A and B are shown apart, each in its own frame.
Chain A
Amino acid sequence: MSRFFRSKRQNPQENSTTIKLYPSLQQNITHFKQTVGESTDIVIRTFKAGQTGSMDIAVLYTSGLVNNELVHDFILDTLMSEIRKTPLDAPAHKSKRYKTKHIEENGNKAYQLIKDYAMTGGNVTDIDTMEKLFLHVLSGDTVVMLDGSIQAMAIDTRGWESRGVEEPSTQSVVRGPKEGFTETLRTNTALLRRRIKDPNLWIRSKPIGSKSKTDVAVVYLHGVADEKVVKEVYHRLNKINIDAILDSGYVEELIQDETYTPFPTVYNSERPDTIAAGILEGRIAIVVDGSPFVLLVPALFVQFFQSAEDYFQRADFSTLIRLIRYMAFFLALLTPSVYIALTTYHQEMIPTSFLVSLSAQREGVPFPAFVEALLMEITFEILREAGVRLPKAVGSAISIVGALVLGQAAVEAGIVSSAMVIVVSLTAISSFVSPSFNFAISIRMLRFGFMSLAATLGLFGILFGLIILTLHLASLRSFGVPYLSPMAPFIGADQKDAILRFPRWKLTTRPRLINQSNMDREDAKAPKPEKRKRLNQRKEQE
């Protein structure tokens, strides 16, 4: 724990700006105002309090980031009206009778008094440096500063307008919880905590990013997650030295094992149930404030073919669906290239009657099959990208243009053959089957490579592509765990939840490579209805 909070490398610039709070409130406020450039969203309310009204108090908060009611009811109201009667000694530093020491004494006394008796807020932190002051004010806390005190108190009043918990837009399921993560870190950790009410669920957070100070929380099940991996995660997070983190994608890119690969080695999900399931298996979740996508490591190849729903549906059905996903993966990756290879190199593999109709379609098509495929694939990619960016209202127009104009008309105009349209549509549909969106992206990238290999060497080009691809995949690791496990290295026990999904009562162990020590889950038993006879006996007894 201590290691995590001890930043390995401190920014030298930051070091120099570490300034203790001044005893003088005015000085503090001036410094503060200068630093934030008199930004209008930051509210600095100064007033006098105490029996004599001689104590200067300032309340600082960022409007919009705080819950206004909280600030008014529990801070301003308390300070201004409720402690009206409390004797707060005026520091009266203007009067020359007092020395600085006195001023501080008085200030600190008043500070302690307010903190102990008056502050009705829940989470109060002491602040003694300017740096912390900025951090708290800018992240939505309200800071109360007293004249004469070298400490200030930060009250957690965070409460900004945020999206509620909604249904996640990706990875949607037919059956299963429909909650999704939001942009707020606390909401997200709460969603996880609600699913795992175990004291061993450890959540530790730390701001990352010299400018953005984004809170990044590491969530894992202590005693289940592999300690070595946990340490590695902390280590990699500590190594991050960046100005801002705007999404978990930043973190993902900075902590992954291998950058030069089209495959994601960090899993992400918008679904609390998926992440919770991962944590229960011994994986480690990384929640980044401001992003509804929570990261999960170590991530394996098979994980990208598993949907949360697999565990909510019947086992046999889930297995079938998973097999279909793998099929779709290969279809999305290889359909256009196999089509090119077959039609330009291996015509002997096509049944005669089909070959005749294919070749009739290609009569008059001016381009080679490769160019034809490339044309259609690129068109599709453009359509897809346009579809994502376009306002929803225009979306349907795009699909009409795509389907009718480009599909039908291109065939009629003799630019492409109709078989190619089928191939491209099949590819397109298959590429959306993968439950994980970023995995689909890597398939789409590789597809073009395979197409050019197919265009030059036919099926053997594809085969060499596959060999190299598999070599590459086999060399990948995610936080030390081989990416292709449990297929390679083959682990028999883990096959129960890899390509297949065994019934719930068979899934009694956690994946072996994810956690080395704590393998056993609770031993669920296959449901066995009581025999009628015994049931009757029991009734009699009752």
Chain B
Amino acid sequence: MMRMEVYGLVKEEITLRQFILLMILFIIGTSILLSPASLAASADNDAWISALVAMGAGLVIIVLFWIISQQFPERNLVDISELVLGKWLGKAVSLLFSYFALISAASVLWTVGNFLVTQIIVRTPALVIHFLVMFAVVYGIQLGIETICRTAEIFFPYIVTLLSIIYLFSIPSVEIKQIQPLLDSSFKQISEGAAFDISVSVLPLIVLLMVFPKYVSEKKRMLPKILLGYVCAYFFIVAITFITTTVLGVRVTANQSYPTYVIAKSLNIEGLIQRAEVIIAVSWILTIFFKLSMYFYASVTVLAQTIGLTSYRSITIPMGLITIALSLIIYPSTIYANDWNETTWLWFSLTFGFVYPLLLSVIGRLRGKSISSNNS
């Protein structure tokens, strides 16, 4: 308890509802725009089935996160690794984790910049966009996780409404025959697509363990609600995959960098709703803002707590500068980015999003007694 006071965070508290909204935004963050393409590329006609498989597999990972959070309530990831792995090893792993979150933040920042620069404001230097987005993120993080959550609560209805508009009005142009025959692709193809999808939307959820369950005010009956939130979030991805492949065709979807954006471009409901691609761009940037914020928050808090600073707020500004610098050099080109995402990212996120918590949980259970004696 002392520690919480030292960190000056004792007042911060978020509701379960806010946390779930944050989780949903995190899951659909980058995926809503990028997933359909990679899913269609690997699983062809069965892209949406692949997404469903990813949803099922992701459920297991969510439960793993849940288990570890319940094993050590009132503690965040840094506390847990120090407890379980010992002080120095724990600190080292935490630093690595901070690095993981920082790299992820930089790559998400690059993704925003890249999207805007290729699709919308073509001649604007990427640096300016990165700087502006990061400015907003740093400002938000300085104001605290509570503020971020409230902002998410404000924006959430808009994001859902905007996405629903795209979904609903795409339905008339859905042609089921585009994805027939069903289950045409092999199991390999489907699982490959699912693996990529999980690595983007589910595994990184580990960073949310920095706020969960420590700052969540309600502690009862959390799991069903969280799982429901997760399923809802994944439903968005499955639905958009289904819609893009049936409306655009599988090959076209796979060949587009941003298939969802193309869907929005071709939307035309009797002149009432047309030229609505900015809608999807806006809601996407909003979701990705929260994803970026959470990555950045995790990176900063983990670092600050590991080296024992009085407040994480004191290093947000320099960390923001580092993120900007990193985002500018992280991917030399889009080709490099695609290649990296396809080959290494899966393993990178698997290490920190699956192996790491699994180890913590297992070792924590094995060392159960000594830890509880430490606790008291």
User: Is the CB–CB distance between B15 and A346 below 8 Å?
Assistant: no
User: Is the CB–CB distance between A346 and B278 below 8 Å?
Assistant: yes
Q: From B121, B132, B150, B281, give the contact of A474 (CB < 8 A).
A: B150
| Size bin of chain B's contact surface | 20 to 34
User: Is the CB–CB distance between A470 and B155 below 8 Å?
Assistant: yes
Judged by a CB distance under 8 angstroms, whether A413 is at the interface is no
Judged by a CB distance under 8 angstroms, whether B311 is at the interface is no
Query: A475 with B143: in contact, given A348-B275, A484-B154, A488-B150 (CB under 8 Å)?
Result: yes
In this complex, the member of B144, B147, B153 whose beta carbon has the largest number of chain A beta carbons within 10 angstroms is B147
User: Is the CB–CB distance between A464 and B132 below 8 Å?
Assistant: yes
Judged by a CB distance under 8 angstroms, whether A482 is at the interface is yes
List A contacts of B275 (CB < 8 A).
Answer: 348-351
- A-binding segment of B76-84, B133-141, B249-257: B133-141
User: Is the CB–CB distance between A487 and B154 below 8 Å?
Assistant: yes
User: Is the CB–CB distance between A474 and B151 below 8 Å?
Assistant: yes
User: Is the CB–CB distance between A457 and B140 below 8 Å?
Assistant: no
Count A-B contacts at CB 8 Å: 83
User: Is the CB–CB distance between B153 and A489 below 8 Å?
Assistant: yes
Least distance between B364 CB and chain A CB atoms (Å): 33
In this complex, the member of B129, B139, B149, B278 whose beta carbon has the largest number of chain A beta carbons within 10 angstroms is B278
| Per-residue interface assignment for chain B, residues 253 to 289, with 1 indicating a CB less than 8 Å from any chain A CB and 0 otherwise | 0000000000000000001001100100110011001
Query: A471 with B132: in contact, given A348-B275, A459-B278 (CB under 8 Å)?
Result: no
Least distance between A344 CB and chain B CB atoms (Å): 11
User: Is the CB–CB distance between B15 and A489 below 8 Å?
Assistant: yes
Expressed in whole angstroms, the Cα–Cα distance for A461 and B124 within the complex equals 12
In this complex, how many residues of chain A approach chain B with their Cβ under 8 Å: the count is 27
Least distance between A40 CB and chain B CB atoms (Å): 57
Minimal Cβ-Cβ distance residue in B for A345: B121
User: Is the CB–CB distance between B153 and A463 below 8 Å?
Assistant: no
List A contacts of B18 (CB < 8 A).
Answer: 488-490
User: Is the CB–CB distance between B285 and A460 below 8 Å?
Assistant: yes
Within 8 A of B (CB), among A322-361: 345-346, 348-351
User: Is the CB–CB distance between B151 and A488 below 8 Å?
Assistant: yes
Q: From A349, A459, A471, A488, give the contact of B139 (CB < 8 A).
A: A471
Expressed in whole angstroms, the Cα–Cα distance for A482 and B17 within the complex equals 16
User: Is the CB–CB distance between A457 and B139 below 8 Å?
Assistant: no
In this complex, the member of A349, A471, A475 whose beta carbon has the largest number of chain B beta carbons within 10 angstroms is A471
User: Is the CB–CB distance between B147 and A460 below 8 Å?
Assistant: no
User: Is the CB–CB distance between A468 and B136 below 8 Å?
Assistant: yes
Expressed in whole angstroms, the Cα–Cα distance for A349 and B281 within the complex equals 13
Expressed in whole angstroms, the Cα–Cα distance for A82 and B16 within the complex equals 77
List B contacts of A468 (CB < 8 A).
Answer: 135-136, 139
Judged by a CB distance under 8 angstroms, whether A467 is at the interface is yes
Minimal Cβ-Cβ distance residue in A for B141: A471
Minimal Cβ-Cβ distance residue in B for A474: B150
Q: From A351, A457, A471, give the contact of B147 (CB < 8 A).
A: A471
Judged by a CB distance under 8 angstroms, whether B64 is at the interface is no
Least distance between A140 CB and chain B CB atoms (Å): 47
| Per-residue interface assignment for chain A, residues 474 to 493, with 1 indicating a CB less than 8 Å from any chain B CB and 0 otherwise | 11000000101001111000
User: Is the CB–CB distance between B136 and A474 below 8 Å?
Assistant: no
Judged by a CB distance under 8 angstroms, whether B120 is at the interface is yes
Expressed in whole angstroms, the Cα–Cα distance for A179 and B331 within the complex equals 67
User: Is the CB–CB distance between B147 and A458 below 8 Å?
Assistant: no
Judged by a CB distance under 8 angstroms, whether B116 is at the interface is yes
List A contacts of B150 (CB < 8 A).
Answer: 474, 482, 484, 488-489
Q: From B136, B155, B274, give the contact of A464 (CB < 8 A).
A: B136
User: Is the CB–CB distance between A467 and B289 below 8 Å?
Assistant: yes
Expressed in whole angstroms, the Cα–Cα distance for A348 and B265 within the complex equals 10
| Per-residue interface assignment for chain A, residues 483 to 511, with 1 indicating a CB less than 8 Å from any chain B CB and 0 otherwise | 01001111000000000000000000000
Expressed in whole angstroms, the Cα–Cα distance for A471 and B285 within the complex equals 15
User: Is the CB–CB distance between A463 and B154 below 8 Å?
Assistant: no
User: Is the CB–CB distance between B282 and A474 below 8 Å?
Assistant: no
List B contacts of A490 (CB < 8 A).
Answer: 15, 17-18, 153
Query: A470 with B151: in contact, given A459-B282, A463-B286, A489-B15 (CB under 8 Å)?
Result: yes
List B contacts of A484 (CB < 8 A).
Answer: 150, 154
List B contacts of A488 (CB < 8 A).
Answer: 18, 149-151, 153-154
Expressed in whole angstroms, the Cα–Cα distance for A473 and B143 within the complex equals 11
User: Is the CB–CB distance between B282 and A471 below 8 Å?
Assistant: no
List A contacts of B278 (CB < 8 A).
Answer: 346, 349, 459
Query: A467 with B136: in contact, given A459-B278, A488-B154, A489-B18 (CB under 8 Å)?
Result: yes
Least distance between A101 CB and chain B CB atoms (Å): 63
The interface of chain B, by Cβ under 8 A from chain A, is 15, 17-18, 116, 120-121, 124, 128-129, 132-133, 135-136, 139-140, 143-144, 147-151, 153-155, 271, 274-275, 278, 281-282, 285-286, 289
- Listed A/B pairs (12) with beta-carbon separation below 8 Å: A350-B275, A460-B121, A461-B132, A467-B151, A467-B155, A467-B289, A468-B136, A474-B143, A474-B147, A474-B148, A489-B18, A490-B15
**Closest 8 A/B residue pairs (Cβ):** A488-B150, A474-B150, A488-B153, A475-B143, A475-B147, A474-B151, A474-B147, A349-B275
7 new A-B pairs (CB below 8 Å) besides A474-B148, A475-B147? A346-B278, A348-B275, A459-B282, A463-B286, A467-B286, A471-B148, A488-B154
